[in-house]
Amino acid sequence: MFEEKQISSQLIYEGKILNVRRDKVTAKKGESTREIVEHNGAVAMVAITEENHVLLVKQYRYACHDVVLEIPAGKIDKGETDPLKAAVRELREETGYTAEHVHYLGKINPSVGYSEEVIYLYAMTDLTPGEQDLDEDEALDVLEYPFEEAYQMAARGEMIDAKTIAALMMAKEQLGEELLP
């Protein structure tokens, strides 16, 4: 398999949560250009209650101009090196919950054609409720759905958020019987 190699790189945009660069690369038939989104990464959590419900957040997402139902998630802050610590922080901030047990599900690259973003996925159980600590620009509702209902919604294409779909599928496969009533 041919592997492209970077010849040169130019930062073309530097933002608060992402940068964009233009790389010149070797291609199978000469040279080509790649525009790459640099992103510090993110975490997403399938948080499961004692009643076998999954916590979902409902919020308006400007980029897709729609209200989206998704699992709690957030970006890994600059300087934060441990995705697990970011996941624990984000679950508490978005939902108020903390988890006694955490299971690493895996990681996904949501857009391999142009982004370096990696999302680390976790299942969290034995939850304890607490107070939300939302960022000042966040507005979301925390909802509970039976795990199987959320899973079926994802499987039927009723959810549009890729990380949520992937995480629910991975949680069911990896935790299996632990999730079933």
Catalytic residues: 136
Tell me 174's DSSP state: H
CA distance 51 to 67: 26
Residue among 107, 106, 71, 102 nearest 85 (CA): 102
Neighbours of 5 (CB within 10 A): 9
Cα dihedral angle (123, 129, 133, 134), rounded to 10 degrees?
A: 60
Three-class SS state of 23: strand
| Distances 112 to 6, 20, 35, 73, 144 between C-alpha atoms, Å | 16, 14, 12, 19, 31
Determine contact, residues 76/42, Cβ cutoff 8 Å.
Answer: yes
